[in-house]
Structure 1
Amino acid sequence: MFWVYILYSVSINQFYKGQTNNLGNRVLRHNSEFEKATKSGIPWILVWSALKSDRSSATVLERKLKNLTRNRLIDFMKKYSEGVAGPDEFLLLEKLSGC
């Protein structure tokens, strides 16, 4: 099983999309300066995630997410709200979308 996830950094106002087989560990790594690509945005908030049955389908979804504009990414997360991490994260998405 593989997770596709979306993180958000308040400090740099950006989303990060990725996939992993260990979501908890991956989020910790993003927030502990181990990952060069996300070091500048610490702290990262897990906003959305979805579990996929295999790496191939996780990679396909990750690529689709990485090709979305910011507004379309927010719309995607709101549409598939069962993947939103919690009520605070949903409110964050509402705020970011201008609602």
Structure 2
Amino acid sequence: MRAFVYILADMRHGQTCIGVTNDLVRRVYEHREGLVAGYTKAKGIKRLVWFEEHQLIGSAIQRETSLKRWYRTWKIALIEENNPEWRDLWDEIAV
């Protein structure tokens, strides 16, 4: 089963949220439309700025747990490695 680890942000170098899902398009849509109660909805975090695919849900969960323990500077470097402008990647996944 495919799984995805993702990072959402409200703006460049702003607040972020890390998550894991088996359906990236559905999950990001839920965040964008405010259908997910909690931190992302309260803070207006809707922009998909980074994601990676895993073949096993277990490895995705392990990666999510690891990323949540990272220092903020490490997370910023990870995002900026492939998305230096912190563009919203929604259009790339919602095809």
Q: Would you call these one fold, judging by a TM-score over 0.5?
A: yes
For residues 18 and 24 of structure 1, what CA distance do their matches in structure 2 show?
Answer: 13
Match of 1:56 in 2: 58
CA-CA distance at 1:43 after TM superposition: 5.1
Q: Structure 1 residue runs of 4+, over 2 Å off?
A: 76-79
- The amino acid of 1:3's aligned partner reads F
Match of 1:24 in 2: 25
Match of 1:42 in 2: 44
* Deviation by residue 1:8-64 (Cα, 9 ceiling, x = unmatched): 013xx2111001111111011112222122112325111000000011000010011
How many residues are matched?
83
TM score, norm. by length of structure 2? 0.77
- Any stretches of 5+ residues in structure 1 without a counterpart? 82-88, 94-99
CA-CA distance at 1:70 after TM superposition: 1.3
Q: Higher relative contact order at CA 8 Å, sep ≥6: structure 1 or structure 2?
A: 2
Segment of structure 1 superposing worse, 60-69 or 35-44: 35-44
For residues 16 and 40 of structure 1, what CA distance do their matches in structure 2 show?
Answer: 12
- Any stretches of 5+ residues in structure 2 without a counterpart? 88-95
For residues 90 and 68 of structure 1, what CA distance do their matches in structure 2 show?
Answer: 19
TM score, norm. by length of structure 1? 0.74
For residues 47 and 26 of structure 1, what CA distance do their matches in structure 2 show?
Answer: 14
For residues 9 and 65 of structure 2, what CA distance do their matches in structure 1 show?
Answer: 17
Identity across aligned pairs (percent)? 29
